[in-house]
Chain A
Amino acid sequence: MKKLIDAVDDVVLDALRGMAAAHPSLRVDLDERIIARADAPRPGKVGLVSGGGSGHEPLHGGFVGYGMLDAACPGEVFTSPVPDQILAATNAVSGGAGVVHIIKNYTGDVLNFQMAAELAGDDDIEVVPVMIDDDVAVQDSTFTAGRRGTGATLFAEKTAGALAEAGGSLSEVAAVATEVNERTRSFGVALTACTVPAAGRPTFDLGEDEIELGIGIHGEPGRERTRLRTASEIVDVALSAIDDDMPLSGSEVLVMVNGMGGTPLMELYAAYAAVADWLSGHGATVGRRLVGNYVTSLDMAGCMISVCRLTPRLAELWDAPVETPGLRWGR
């Protein structure tokens, strides 16, 4: 394993120290392991908290700031944060108007956030959880833990964050995050597995000419292994899976071509060209787009495509000013 780290056990903490040093607009609490806006809590504003395992950067800590999250709680690598941490983040951003938890649907995240919400209730903070489960690769929700939360997490954090910034109420902010999740589908493809520092070896073995279709974002294998294909063919597999689940024809969409951490931007743009062609060929209009590494899986090569069917209001919330380490415009 070759990694730019000092010590395997300290990698998450060292990354947090780096975030603190690099971004004075954030307040990083190394003991509680939370990243919060320096101006939190803001009286009367709905707080927005998310969190999950580390290794997905810039998600979630890189999306803390004006117009997006109020706080993030990073767990160990690919491991959900613990309830004490989530509770500390909730307390840190509670301005009296309640707090929305944005939770990716993974068993560990769900259980830990559930326990934290119970504890927050003891402290008289009203918490509304919003579950993100946009991954169409999981087909049979009856016999699995349900669809996973992936790219829609960023869309929900951005739009709900904009509404909270504009003075939206607790139920309105939660509703917009829920709406975005319902209107978004994602599909991911891995060209390589990733290496969790503590494990020291790739989480699965992929041959030189093999790819894994329908991956999640935690280095877990996907739904099918197949031979390597061209970018255009891979994009067709991903968008067809999304379109089968949520027909895109006639819609204006927000689309993200998201790198998993180990894929050059050049290749992501090549994939985006194929995405733009595919969508226009299938009667969809690209209203907004994002290309880059936003919801990553350590050093995994590959990409995830997320498509959200926009409404005029969602487009407006997407366009609203945002100023975070990972996403910034309009301000």
Chain B
Amino acid sequence: MDAREWIERFAELVEAEADHLTRLDAAIGDGDHGTNLNRGLRAAMASLHADLPPGKVLTTAGRALISKTGGASGPLYGTALRRAGKALGDTPEVGAGELATALRAALEGVRELGRAEEGDKTMIDALAPAVAAYAATAAEGMPAAVRAALDAAEKGAEATIPLQARKGRASYLGARSVGHLDPGAASTVLLFRALADVTPAGA
């Protein structure tokens, strides 16, 4: 897994989907998720100089996201990448097992900071099943595990639609948050789509 390609692809996907994410956020939040994450990821890309080991790529990009994004998504995605990067340490090559550890660390970081549980209608609803699906499939190799993670993230995001939000700004809507896709879960799908896009089938 090439960490730089992963973040680069995530940035591309978020840029392409920025308007969509912002519209999702306007429905149940304050309408800035796509704009913010796009700005933060551009800053993250600019912070990455050449020849960093994978772990360092993720911690550096995470620090830039925290510094430059604003809103809740900066600290949350930034912490996810930083924890994943720290879990990778100095390893020069990321295999299926290392990635499982990194993804688990990312999930823990987001849980601790946001204090959200599954079912609260947040990014956790896509992230947690994706990380679990990856771990359950990791023995079959990275391409299969990444594909399983993406499928689980998509299903998890889709499943936020009927939920009532209990964390973040959407929670103020109460029952009126029902019927909308959570924007944070939607952008989490892009994180895993990016991972799938940069993982060659034979890797």
Q: Does A associate with B in a complex?
A: yes
Query: A107's contact among B39, B66, B168, B173, by CB below 8 Å, is which?
Result: B168
A223 vs B170: C-alpha distance in the bound complex, in angstroms?
A: 11
B65 closest partner in A (C-beta): A82
Pairwise interchain contact A115-B30, C-beta atoms closer than 8 A: no
Smallest beta-carbon distance A178→chain B, Å: 22
A72 vs B31: C-alpha distance in the bound complex, in angstroms?
A: 23
B78 closest partner in A (C-beta): A115
Query: A203's contact among B26, B67, B72, B73, by CB below 8 Å, is which?
Result: B26
Interface residue? A251 (CB, 8 A): no
A112 vs B40: C-alpha distance in the bound complex, in angstroms?
A: 14
> Which of A53, A144, A218 lies at the interface centre, i.e. has the most chain B CB atoms within 10 A of its CB?
A144
Pairwise interchain contact B68-A82, C-beta atoms closer than 8 A: yes
Pairwise interchain contact B26-A80, C-beta atoms closer than 8 A: no
Interface residue? B162 (CB, 8 A): no
Query: B172's contact among A112, A144, A196, by CB below 8 Å, is which?
Result: A144
Interface residue? A143 (CB, 8 A): yes
A81 vs B68: C-alpha distance in the bound complex, in angstroms?
A: 9
Pairwise interchain contact B69-A111, C-beta atoms closer than 8 A: no
Which of chain B's residues 49-98 have a Cβ closer than 8 Å to chain A? 66-76
Given contacts A108-B75, A144-B167, A144-B171, 9 further A-B contacts (CB under 8 A): A78-B31, A107-B168, A107-B169, A112-B71, A137-B172, A140-B174, A143-B166, A216-B169, A220-B29
> Which of B29, B30, B73, B165 lies at the interface centre, i.e. has the most chain A CB atoms within 10 A of its CB?
B30
A222 vs B172: C-alpha distance in the bound complex, in angstroms?
A: 7
Pairwise interchain contact A111-B172, C-beta atoms closer than 8 A: no
A218 vs B171: C-alpha distance in the bound complex, in angstroms?
A: 14
Pairwise interchain contact A83-B36, C-beta atoms closer than 8 A: no
Pairwise interchain contact A115-B75, C-beta atoms closer than 8 A: yes
Interface string of A133-170 (1 = CB under 8 A from B): 00001101001110010000000000000000000000
Which of chain B's residues 103-141 have a Cβ closer than 8 Å to chain A? 113-114
Given A79-B71, A81-B70, decide whether A107 and B30 contact each other with a Cβ distance below 8 A.
Answer: no
Query: A144's contact among B30, B32, B76, B166, by CB below 8 Å, is which?
Result: B166
Q: Which residues of A contact B73 (CB under 8 A)?
A: 108
Q: Which residues of B contact A219 (CB under 8 A)?
A: 30-31
Q: Which residues of B contact A78 (CB under 8 A)?
A: 30-32
Interface string of A210-228 (1 = CB under 8 A from B): 0000001011111100000
What 8 A-B pairs come out closest when comparing CB atoms?
A144-B171, A111-B75, A79-B70, A108-B72, A108-B71, A218-B30, A107-B72, A79-B71
Interface residue? B35 (CB, 8 A): yes
Q: Which residues of A contact B167 (CB under 8 A)?
A: 107, 144-145
Interface residues of B (CB under 8 A from A): 22, 26, 29-32, 35-36, 39, 66-76, 113-114, 164-169, 171-174, 176
Interface residue? A106 (CB, 8 A): yes
Smallest beta-carbon distance A287→chain B, Å: 31
A198 vs B160: C-alpha distance in the bound complex, in angstroms?
A: 26
Q: Which residues of B contact A196 (CB under 8 A)?
A: 30-32
Report 28 cross-chain contacts, Cβ distance below 8 Å, ordered by A residue: A75-B70, A78-B31, A78-B32, A79-B70, A80-B70, A81-B70, A82-B69, A82-B70, A82-B74, A84-B68, A106-B169, A107-B169, A108-B72, A111-B114, A115-B66, A143-B166, A143-B171, A144-B171, A144-B172, A145-B167, A145-B168, A145-B172, A198-B22, A199-B26, A218-B169, A220-B29, A222-B172, A223-B172
A80 vs B76: C-alpha distance in the bound complex, in angstroms?
A: 13
Interface residue? A204 (CB, 8 A): yes
A148 vs B172: C-alpha distance in the bound complex, in angstroms?
A: 9
Interface residue? A323 (CB, 8 A): no
Smallest beta-carbon distance A203→chain B, Å: 5
